[in-house]
Structure 1
Amino acid sequence: MELSQRVKNITPSSTLAITAKANELRASGIDVIGLAAGEPDFNTPEPIIEAAIKAAREGHTKYTATSGLSALKEAIVKKIAHDNKIHIKSENIIVTTGAKHALYLTFQALLNPGDEVIIPAPYWVSYTEQVKLAEGVPVIVNGLEENDFKLSLEQIKQATTEKTRAIIINSPSNPTGMIYSKEELKEIGEYCLEKGLAVISDEIYEKLVYDGAVATSIVEVVPELQKTAVMINGVSKSHAMTGWRIGYAVADSVLIKAMTNVASHSTSNPTSIAQYAALEAYTGSQESVEHMRQAFEGRLNRAYERLISIPGIRCIKPQGAFYLFPNVKRAAEMTGFSSVADWATALVEEAKIAVVPGEGFGAPDYMRLSYATSMENINEALDRLHTFMESHIK
């Protein structure tokens, strides 16, 4: 059977590939420490679980509106007003099957064939593929390490053409954990307004910030962007609800209607009981969010301190999310490997540590290491990495 060209053009997810390799080794009884997963290791807080059970028992197991439960959208309206100082209405929201689905619908509703989307590298692996699936053109612009991997306004100006339709801003970033300052966002936002560019603001890690850092939405800094920006968020990272698959997009009502039309012919509504769980996540106590944030901060400090002591590795300390993104090119060379990808394969096969090589993020000299795991696992994994380096250094 002949496959479509759009499917042939998709690059498989590097994060899923390394996770599959680690799971394969675990299934054969090998102790592999996974530092590849992009999800909290905590279970979903109990009140959220109980809210889902209650909803199911009360019969809330039918279809909902494609754009989501009215009560959940109202809770998101209040959340946006409280956290982001932005005032919207329910008609500006679509609840989606995870934040990834919100992004997918955004590109499907915004892009025509040949439209260009500026994507800062390092980037989350699905941005480029989703743009291609919408017949758009990813325009990769490298964020420099000396600028904390963030794009400067000058870089954005140089990448903008008459075909540019949108730019993606991911702050805090996956995979780098870096955060754009208000001043940087103001410059970028005002330029996008001037050029009529849509801003797709991926804010899924906004609650996971450390050392006093604050993540600000670009729409809060430049309120005029409400007409042309799309805010992407959800409960997956903040409330340890990755498997529940509830995200949302906030945008002008015309775009939300278009996204809802696409969803109505693809997924219909997000799972009903998962929406009730998300409703509890936003209206109930937020103590668990802060508890997890503090735990991640402690792990970050420990992992960072140990990682930079290993020969051949340099790393900027991230401000948010739950990843370290070190440059390990020298470490790979010191141990006789021609690429970081080969080095990462050796780590999982020999040292039994699963990390994600940076190639899939548009940064082949780097690797992504998740500290969304126990302190015990972090210490053991870095012990193994140190031993691997000592035994292989030429």
Structure 2
Amino acid sequence: MEKPQKRKSDRFRRLATAAAFAGLFSYAATLFVTPASNNEIAQTYGASLGMLARLALAVMVGFLSAVLFAGWYSDRRGKLPTILAGCISMALGLSIFGSASNFDLLTFASFLMGLGGGLSESTCMALIADLYHESHRTAMANLSQAAFGVGAVISPLAVGWLLRLGVDFRIGYFGTAFVCAVSAAIAFAALSMRCEIPCVESDVNTRWRDLVGSSLVLMLAFGIMLYVGAEIGQSQWLAVYFRQGLNAKRELAACSLSFMWFGILTGRVAGASASRLVSEITIIRLCLMLSALSQSALLLISSSVWGLVYVFLLGFFLGPVFPTIVSCASGAYPSQSGTVTSIVVAAGALGAAIFPPAIGWAADFVGLKTALWTCMAILLIDAGMFITMRSVCRR
């Protein structure tokens, strides 16, 4: 009896891992299809940078509306049904965006896309933490976020390819909706095996207050809020910066985001290896400092070719930070991995809700290049905070 049960357990682990990876891939594709299309959205709907900032804000408001509930619910009822609901919400929002006739519908669709991301992203990370423990946890967290990076690379490349072919950019939204539907099917297949065992509700309830008041969780949450604010603050406006600041062609501007996320993807694969050799806190400190330097170089050059080089380097050094911070949090509270991950990721979403729209609004007054220096300042502050922290994460 043990061997059939073990085979079923192994199949479930592989399928659940695939569901987590697919969910992160889908959310990345959903999150970055709009930044890659910003120039076309502005032209089609007559939108200013401030109006485009509304779309970014709507995504993050949707994300924040769902992420804490997702952690609470997934610890009690399971992570796979939460991921399934998130993928369905993203597919619905993308379909509405692709067929919208006015800017208000774009805003509503962006909210649904963010809502789906809030249900799925932190839950996918928590599911990985449940499936893999100890020395494999940080490595798998980086690899799962590498799947996010693949989606973030492919989505802008696909938009650039569509524009080069003269195809309406909105087709990209329908294609991304199909990807989310496939991810939902994978999550449903894993869920149908009925192998996931949620945490005991009484244990979750008694430790909730301690978790919210934990100094470790609060420090990691603040650190990830600054990190995501800088990362999304740059990536949200990257295509516009290349078009307006570096005079790149619109196809290259759309694809510039892929260079950044190819760097992030590469950095996360490297981070998975590095996590076996050095402490998590060392990875975070070093990567934040080097990403601040790369950000500065990007804003000081005037060539779009060199811009691609520094965008890649920026992404490479940013890459390991997010999954490593999340791994620290989920590893500290394994019985509440969904809740603690959702708290930390919600803090990141708060940073994404504050800084990218603020940069867009500021750009209308002081210019985009000047406004983007905010990202470098945030990274330096974040690096300084982690440098002064004790080694709170695993060695």
TM over 0.5: no
Larger Rg: 1
Q: Which has the higher helix share?
A: 2
What is the TM-score with the length of structure 2 in the denominator? Answer: 0.29
Q: Which has the higher strand share?
A: 1
